[in-house]
Structure 1
Amino acid sequence: MLIGDVARRSGVSTRMLRHYDALGLVRPTGRTVGGYREYSAEDVRRIFHVESLRSLGLSLKQIGRALEDPAFTPSALVSDLIRQTEDRLAREKELLERLRAIDASTPTDWQGVLRIVALMRELNSTSAARRQQAVLAPPENAPVPAELLAEAVLTESDPHVAGALRWALARSGGDAVATLRAGTHSEDARVRRRAVLAIAGMPEAPGAVEVLTDALRDSDPPVRRHAALALGRQGVAAAVPTLVSMVVEGCNDVDAAEVLGTLSLDPGCRDRITTALVGELAAPTADSATRIRLTQALVELAGTTAQEAGPVTVLRRLTHDDDRDVALVATALVEVLEERYLEDR
C-alpha cells in the first residue's frame, strides 16, 4: 500500500508518516520499483498502535520505547501521564475561572481587563494583608466581581480576610449564590462551612434560603449550625430542630436560644419549640448543665409577660424540679418575668 493510500485510510497525514519513517518509528517494509514507500498490513497496524498511544499523551520518543523495549512497563509511565494531565487540567481550570471573572466584570476596554487581572493577582497573594487590602480598597473604577469574591471566599483560610470577603460579597449586589452553591457540595467540610457562612451573610439573595435549607442536612455540625442560625433569623421553621440541638450541645447556645425566641413570635412555631425543649428536658441523658441551658432557652419564648401559656407554665413547673440548680435558675427567671409583667401594667 502506497503512502497516499495509507494516509487516506489511517487519517494520518503523509507528512507525519514521513516523519515517523525518519524517526524509525514506523518504517515501510518495502519500496516500489520507482522507490516509493510501500506499507504492509503489519506496518499499518503499527501506525494505528502509534496513534493510539499518542492519544494518551505519550511523546513519540516514549511510544518508540514502548513498542520496541519488552522490559518497558506501562505502569510508571501511565502514572506520570495521570499526574501531568491533572496538573494541566488544574491550570486550565484556573485559566477558565480567570476568564469568567473578567467576563463578569464586563470590561469596556483593555485597561479594565488589566485592572481585574491585577486584582486577581492581589487576591492570590501569599500576604493576608495584601489580600484584605485588595478586597477593602480595590483600584478605582474596578469593583470586585461577585463571582471572583465568591471563589476567593471558598479558598480563604485567614479569618480576617474571610470576613472582609464576606462583607464585600454581601454588598456586591451580584449573584454569587450559584458559585457558593458549588462550594456547599465540596468534599472538604471547611469549604462547605465557608460557603454557608457567606450565603448566611446575604440570606435574601435569590436561591439563598434553598441552599441553606439543604445545608441543614449536611454531615458537618458547624455547617448545619451556620445554616440554622441564618434560616431562623429569616423566620424559617425548618431550622428549629438544629437550633434546639445547639442548645442541648452547648454550641452557640445563646445565639440559638435568641433565634428560637424570634421564631416563637409565631404562636404555632412557639408551641413546636416549647414541645421540643420540654422533650429534651425530660430526656434521661440530659445532665444538669444541659437542662439549665434548656431552661434559659424557654425564657426567650415567654415574651415580656408572665401570663403567657406554654413556656411560662413549664418554667413554673421547673421551679420545683428535683435538680436544685435547675429549680433555682427557673425560679430566678420566673421572678424576672413577673417583674416585667408588673412594670408593663
Structure 2
Amino acid sequence: MSDLEILLRQCAVEPDFQVREMLTWALIRLPANRVVPRVIEDLTRPEPQARCQALHTLSKFKDETAWPAVASRLDDENQSVVRTAWYSAVALVPKGERDWLAEKLATRLGHGDAETQLSLSRALVALGKDVIEPLLAVAAERGDATVRQHVDATVRLLQDPDSGFATSLKRARREVALGRTRSTKG
C-alpha cells in the first residue's frame, strides 16, 4: 500500500483533530497531480469524517480542478460536511462562480445553531463585501427575524472581522426585536 493510501485511510478514522492536521500536512507535501484526484474520490465515502477531511485537504491544495467535486458537497446530508464544504468552496471557487456560491450560501442564512451560523457568516465574509452585500440586503428585506439577525451579525463580522460573533448575534437579536434592522445599509 502506498503512503498516499495509508494517509487517506487514517484520515477517515483518526479521532484526534491535531493528528488529522498532521496527516493533511503530509498529504499536501505529496505531488498534487497524484493526491488531488485520489482525495476527490474520498468525497463519496460513506463516513462523514472522511468527506470532511477530504474537503479540508483539497482546500489546502487550492487546485480549482477540485471545485466541481467540492461544490457537490454543499448539499451533503451531514451538517459537519456541509460546514467544511463552505470553507473549502470559498478557498477553491473560480472567479466566475463566486456569485453562484454566494447565492447558494445565502439561502442558508438563519438556519442552524450559533456555530453553524458563524461558519456560514465566515464563509460569506471570505467571499468579499462586493459579492455578499447585495445578497445580505435582499435577505434582510425578505427574511424573517432569524434571517435578519443572522444578516446583521454577518454585516458586523464583515465590518469588524475581529469582533466576537456571539456578541454580534446577541446584539443583532436585540436590534431585530426592537425593529431597527430592515436593511443592511447604515
TM-score by length of 2: 0.67
Equivalent in 198, 201, 204 of residue 57 of structure 2: 198
Structure 2's unaligned 5+ residue stretches are 112-116, 161-174
Q: CA deviation at 1:155?
A: 2.3
Equivalent in 249, 256, 264 of residue 123 of structure 2: 256
Q: CA deviation at 1:253?
A: 4.1
Structure with max Cα Rg: 1
1:153 partnered with 2:11 = yes
Secondary structure of the 2:144 match is coil
Secondary structure of the 2:133 match is helix
Secondary structure of the 1:157 match is coil
Cα distance change, pair 211–219 in 1 and its aligned pair in 2 (3 A): same
Give the share of equivalent positions with the same residue, in percent.
Answer: 17
Cα distance change, pair 253–228 in 1 and its aligned pair in 2 (3 A): closer
| Aligned position for 1:219 | 77
RMSD across aligned C-alpha pairs, in angstroms? 3.3
> What amino acid sits opposite 2:46 in the alignment?
E
CA contact (8 A) 1:183 1:191 kept: yes
What are the Cα deviations for residues 119-146 of structure 1, in whole angstroms up to 9, with x where unaligned? Answer: xxxxxxxxxxxxxxxxxxxxxxxxxx33
Matches within 5 A, 1:134-149: 145-149=3-7
Q: CA deviation at 1:281?
A: 1.0
Measured in 1, the distance between the counterparts of 2:8 and 2:137 equals 41
What are the Cα deviations for residues 81-125 of structure 1, in whole angstroms up to 9, with x where unaligned? Answer: xxxxxxxxxxxxxxxxx2xx1xxxxxxxxxxxxxxxxxxxxxxxx
TM-score by length of 1: 0.39
CA contact (8 A) 2:140 2:147 kept: no
1:293 partnered with 2:160 = no
> What amino acid sits opposite 1:226 in the alignment?
T
> What amino acid sits opposite 1:218 in the alignment?
D
Q: CA deviation at 1:163?
A: 0.7
Cα distance change, pair 211–297 in 1 and its aligned pair in 2 (3 A): same
Q: Which has the higher contact order (CA 8 A, sep 6+)?
A: 2
Which is worse superposed, 210-219 or 291-300? 291-300
Secondary structure of the 1:248 match is coil
| Greater share of residues in helix | 2
Measured in 2, the distance between the counterparts of 1:213 and 1:242 equals 10
Which is worse superposed, 145-154 or 245-254? 245-254
